[in-house]
Amino acid sequence: MEREDLSKKVDLAFLSAFYGGLLTEKQRRVLSLHCEEDLSLGEIADDVGISRQAVHETLTRAASRLEELESVLGVAERFRKIDYGLESALDAMKRKDYARAEYLIKEILSIETAEPSDR
């Protein structure tokens, strides 16, 4: 599998963790088999009982919906920023760079309190 394909699957799985509940049951199932089980379109088609073309269309619609939700809500990106900021703050604290840790924590707090249009 090419690195780009793997990266797309990882990104879709990540977005699905936040927004998967807003997809249809069929979209969730197909996406899970594709991203988490790494099944081919043909294998997914056999498992779900639909055509390969229907699997492809379902994946495309699910991916579009996840990307649309992230574009509007930005929850996954906020999570990434907060996670990175916390890891960086912890690292700064381990190095006893408390000024840097404090700065990073304030940055994290500003992410959490920003209005959706400011993100």
Predicted structure pTM score = 0.81
* Among the listed residues 36, 35, 38, 31, the one whose alpha carbon sits nearest the alpha carbon of residue 55: 31
Q: Tell me: the pLDDT tens digits for 21-49?
A: 999 999 999 999 999 999 999 999 999 99
Q: Tell me: the pLDDT tens digits for 76-89?
A: 999 999 999 999 99
Separation of alpha carbons 104 and 84, rounded Å: 10
Q: What is the mean pLDDT of the chain?
A: 92
Please say whether the structural domain 3-73 has been given the CATH code 1.10.10.10. yes
